Amino acid sequence: MERIFRSSVVLFFVLLLLTGLSFAQNVENGKKLFNDPSFGSSTNDKSCNSCHPNGKGLEQSGKKEKIIIMGKELHSLEEAVNMCIEGPLSGKAIKIDSQEMKDIVAYIKSLTKN
Protein backbone atom coordinates (compact mmCIF):
# COMPACT_ATOMS: atom_id res chain seq x y z
CA MET A 1 0.00 0.00 0.00
CA GLU A 2 2.71 2.43 1.05
CA ARG A 3 4.76 1.54 -2.01
CA ILE A 4 1.84 2.35 -4.26
CA PHE A 5 1.37 5.64 -2.47
CA ARG A 6 5.05 6.50 -2.73
CA SER A 7 5.29 5.66 -6.42
CA SER A 8 2.17 7.76 -7.11
CA VAL A 9 3.80 10.71 -5.41
CA VAL A 10 6.97 10.23 -7.47
CA LEU A 11 4.90 9.88 -10.65
CA PHE A 12 3.00 13.05 -9.78
CA PHE A 13 6.20 15.09 -9.49
CA VAL A 14 7.68 13.60 -12.64
CA LEU A 15 4.53 14.58 -14.54
CA LEU A 16 4.60 18.05 -13.00
CA LEU A 17 8.22 18.47 -14.10
CA LEU A 18 7.44 17.27 -17.64
CA THR A 19 4.49 19.66 -17.89
CA GLY A 20 6.72 22.52 -16.79
CA LEU A 21 9.44 21.55 -19.27
CA SER A 22 7.05 21.25 -22.19
CA PHE A 23 5.57 24.65 -21.37
CA ALA A 24 9.06 26.16 -21.38
CA GLN A 25 9.63 24.48 -24.75
CA ASN A 26 6.40 26.00 -26.14
CA VAL A 27 7.42 29.44 -24.94
CA GLU A 28 10.85 29.04 -26.55
CA ASN A 29 9.33 27.98 -29.90
CA GLY A 30 6.72 30.73 -29.66
CA LYS A 31 9.46 33.30 -29.21
CA LYS A 32 11.19 32.05 -32.37
CA LEU A 33 7.95 32.31 -34.35
CA PHE A 34 7.35 35.79 -32.94
CA ASN A 35 10.70 36.88 -34.38
CA ASP A 36 10.38 34.96 -37.65
CA PRO A 37 9.48 37.17 -40.67
CA SER A 38 8.08 34.12 -42.51
CA PHE A 39 5.68 33.14 -39.71
CA GLY A 40 2.02 32.99 -40.77
CA SER A 41 3.09 32.95 -44.44
CA SER A 42 3.92 36.62 -44.04
CA THR A 43 4.31 38.27 -47.42
CA ASN A 44 6.30 41.24 -46.18
CA ASP A 45 9.54 41.38 -44.22
CA LYS A 46 7.81 42.07 -40.91
CA SER A 47 7.64 39.77 -37.92
CA CYS A 48 5.47 40.18 -34.85
CA ASN A 49 8.55 41.60 -33.20
CA SER A 50 8.71 44.49 -35.71
CA CYS A 51 5.71 46.12 -34.06
CA HIS A 52 5.78 44.52 -30.62
CA PRO A 53 9.53 44.58 -29.86
CA ASN A 54 10.25 41.84 -27.28
CA GLY A 55 6.52 41.60 -26.76
CA LYS A 56 6.23 45.21 -25.67
CA GLY A 57 2.61 46.23 -25.22
CA LEU A 58 1.40 42.64 -24.90
CA GLU A 59 1.99 42.31 -21.15
CA GLN A 60 -1.73 42.42 -20.39
CA SER A 61 -3.01 40.56 -23.46
CA GLY A 62 -2.94 37.12 -21.80
CA LYS A 63 -5.38 38.34 -19.15
CA LYS A 64 -7.83 40.29 -21.28
CA GLU A 65 -11.37 39.08 -21.79
CA LYS A 66 -11.65 41.15 -24.90
CA ILE A 67 -9.04 42.58 -27.18
CA ILE A 68 -9.77 45.37 -29.60
CA ILE A 69 -7.65 45.60 -32.74
CA MET A 70 -8.48 48.09 -35.44
CA GLY A 71 -11.96 48.58 -34.02
CA LYS A 72 -12.71 44.86 -33.98
CA GLU A 73 -13.64 43.17 -30.74
CA LEU A 74 -11.94 39.79 -30.25
CA HIS A 75 -12.40 37.26 -27.49
CA SER A 76 -9.23 35.21 -27.56
CA LEU A 77 -5.51 35.56 -28.05
CA GLU A 78 -5.78 33.13 -30.97
CA GLU A 79 -8.11 35.52 -32.80
CA ALA A 80 -5.76 38.42 -32.05
CA VAL A 81 -2.78 36.49 -33.41
CA ASN A 82 -4.64 35.66 -36.63
CA MET A 83 -5.85 39.24 -36.94
CA CYS A 84 -2.25 40.47 -36.83
CA ILE A 85 -1.15 37.74 -39.24
CA GLU A 86 -3.81 38.63 -41.81
CA GLY A 87 -3.50 42.38 -41.30
CA PRO A 88 0.00 43.69 -40.56
CA LEU A 89 1.87 40.63 -41.83
CA SER A 90 -0.31 40.22 -44.94
CA GLY A 91 -0.14 36.50 -44.24
CA LYS A 92 -2.52 33.60 -43.90
CA ALA A 93 -4.33 32.78 -40.64
CA ILE A 94 -3.04 29.67 -38.91
CA LYS A 95 -5.20 26.92 -37.40
CA ILE A 96 -6.47 27.61 -33.88
CA ASP A 97 -5.48 24.12 -32.71
CA SER A 98 -2.07 24.00 -34.43
CA GLN A 99 1.20 23.59 -32.56
CA GLU A 100 2.36 26.98 -33.86
CA MET A 101 -0.71 28.66 -32.38
CA LYS A 102 -0.15 26.91 -29.04
CA ASP A 103 3.48 28.03 -29.02
CA ILE A 104 2.87 31.66 -29.94
CA VAL A 105 0.05 31.90 -27.38
CA ALA A 106 2.32 30.33 -24.73
CA TYR A 107 4.96 32.97 -25.53
CA ILE A 108 2.46 35.85 -25.31
CA LYS A 109 1.13 34.47 -22.01
CA SER A 110 4.67 34.23 -20.68
CA LEU A 111 4.97 38.01 -21.09
CA THR A 112 2.09 38.67 -18.71
CA LYS A 113 2.88 41.10 -15.92
CA ASN A 114 0.62 42.03 -13.05
Closest CA to 77 of 91, 89, 64: 64
Q: Of the listed pieces 3-11, 16-24, 40-48, 95-103, which binds ligand HEC according to CB under 6 A?
A: 40-48
Minimum CB distance to ligand HEC smaller for 19 or for 112: 112
Note whether 53 binds ligand HEC by CB under 6 A. Answer: no
How many C-beta neighbours within 10 Å does residue 64 have?
A: 14
Please name the amino acid found at residue 103: D
Tell me the C-alpha distance between 55 and 28, whole Å: 13
- Measured distance CA(62)–CA(69) in Å, rounded: 15
Question: Site residues for ligand HEC, window 77-96 (CB under 6 A)?
Answer: 77, 80-81, 84-85, 88-89
Does 60 help bind ligand HEC (rule: CB under 6 A)? yes
Binding site for ligand HEC (CB under 6 A): 39-40, 46, 48, 50-52, 57-58, 60-61, 64, 67, 69, 77, 80-81, 84-85, 88-89, 104, 108
